[in-house]
Amino acid sequence: MSNVPDLDRYPELREKWDRRNFIKSAAAGAAFMAIGGALVRIAADDLTKAARAEKRSDGRPRLPPGQRVIEKLRPMGGDEGDGEAKNFKLRVTGLVKKPFEVSYEGLLKLPQVEKTADVHCVTGWSMLGGLYRGVQISKLAEIAEVKSEARFMILQAAHGFTANVPLKEAFADNALITYRLNGKPFALAHGAPVRGLIPDLYFWKSAKWITGLKFVKDDVPGYWETRGYHNHADPWREERYG
């Protein structure tokens, strides 16, 4: 026997019936989301476990201590830049023989590379195996003819944000000024149109909404470094805070 009332005969019951079905559907959806969330956590735990078993080419574990794997970049806030490619300018200055400025269109005309890289946030998440497209910072330094006395690079970004990076990490093979991740432009929350990528340091060093590279002799702590974060930021040494 059906539990459905005769709604044509008793139309005054329709509102209560519809409400009952809505509550049942919502409850089922919540249960599904709870189960789905558990499955997501299990999958993330498996990814983390697998990454901990892997080694990098330099012998270090692929996943630094205290990190867990997630599948997508997590927005981490910050004062957003303009975000428009047509307004983008990158200035390369400091201890260089040939300072220059390049537009977004000009950046695309420079030698392009695609590099696979893992990134590690100081808050404890890591995203592994992203394919980043852009221009190597070492190539920009070569074009500008960085002077021999330079020891550090300052990443400059919107609203005066800066991050200091030793040249060892700045000139790494996969250290880029990048505008694509896995074939797609960055969302504004992730630094569109162009951001830095310094994958061997905690991710705050990979400044978003990038505006310039300045090469200097003396170390100049940046925005987060002057607010208690570690000056160097090596994830394998857990250099999170100063």
Mean pLDDT within 79-93: 97
Does residue 58 sit within a domain?
A: no
Name residue 80's amino acid. E
- Start-end of H helices in the chain: 14-52, 104-109, 137-144, 167-170
Q: Tally the domains of the chain.
A: 2
Do 86 and 153 lie in one domain? The reply is yes
Do 48 and 104 lie in one domain? The reply is no
The CATH code of the domain that includes 215 is 3.90.420.10
Do 40 and 91 lie in one domain? The reply is no
User: What is residue 14's predicted lDDT score, i.e. its pLDDT?
Assistant: 54
Please, which pLDDT band fits residue 109 given cuts at 50, 70 and 90?
Answer: very high
Please, which pLDDT band fits residue 43 given cuts at 50, 70 and 90?
Answer: low
**Do 149 and 217 touch, CB atoms closer than 8 A?**
yes
User: What is residue 242's predicted lDDT score, i.e. its pLDDT?
Assistant: 86
> How many whole angstroms from its chain centre is CA 34?
27
Q: Find, among 148, 161, 136, 177, the residue nearest to 226 by Cα.
A: 161
**The whole model's pTM is what?**
0.82
The DSSP-derived string for 1-48 is: ------TTT-GGGHHHHHHHHHHHHHHHHHHHHHHHHHHHHHHHHHHH
**Do 211 and 196 touch, CB atoms closer than 8 A?**
no
User: What is residue 42's predicted lDDT score, i.e. its pLDDT?
Assistant: 60
Q: Which domain holds residue 103?
A: 68-237
Mean pLDDT within 183-188: 97
Do 20 and 100 lie in one domain? The reply is no
Do 45 and 97 lie in one domain? The reply is no
Please, which pLDDT band fits residue 165 given cuts at 50, 70 and 90?
Answer: very high
36 or 118, which is more confident:
118
